[in-house]
Amino acid sequence: MATQTSSPPPPPPPPPLPPTESVGRRSKFIWPLLIAASVSIGAYLYMKTNKDEKTQGDVPVPAPAVTSSTPTTTPTAISTASVSPPPPAVMQPVKPIPVDQQRELFKWILEEKRKVKTKDPQEKKKIDEEKALLKQFIRSKSIPSL
């Protein structure tokens, strides 16, 4: 019998070389995404704070006279202490609308109700009831005052 001579085992593969490029250069496609996301978040926050400033009210706060004997206070304490409530609104008497103008208004509303396209039967039923009520007001001799 013949004996087989075995050849030496193959050498293991060399370990992978460490990357020579920086992480930033290897991920070029991520940078535009990160920039776009940060710009959009910044714009959102800017618009949100800008809207909040507009809705807080435009009541001017008078500056307190600061002397050496007066202690300094925080701006929030000054603004809450010096702002008085607005005066109550004066109600103007409501002038009655003439009957002819009311009928014209009801006719216009009825025309607009006829133009509405409904999607579900409940909404259609509600609009039909409103149209029937408007027709009654238009046909009646006297229109009730509100």
Which domain, by its residues, includes 119?
99-139
**Which amino acid belongs to residue 44?**
Y
Model confidence pLDDT, tens digit, residues 55-93: 655 555 555 555 555 555 555 555 555 666 777 777 888
Contact in structure between 31 and 24 (CB atoms under 8 Å): yes
Domain total in the chain: 1
Average pLDDT value for residue range 9-36: 80
Name the pLDDT band for 121 (thresholds 50, 70, 90): very high
* Block residue for tokens 């009801």: 106
> Is there a domain that residue 49 lies in?
no
Q: Are 64 and 82 in contact (CB under 8 A)?
A: yes
Report the C-alpha gap between 100 and 138 in whole angstroms.
10
In a domain, 128, yes or no: yes
Residue 78 lies in a domain: no
Does the predicted TM-score (pTM) go above 0.85?
no
Domain annotation covers residue 43:
no
HSE (side-chain half, CA atoms, 13 Å) at 83:
13
Distance CA 57, CA 54 (A): 6
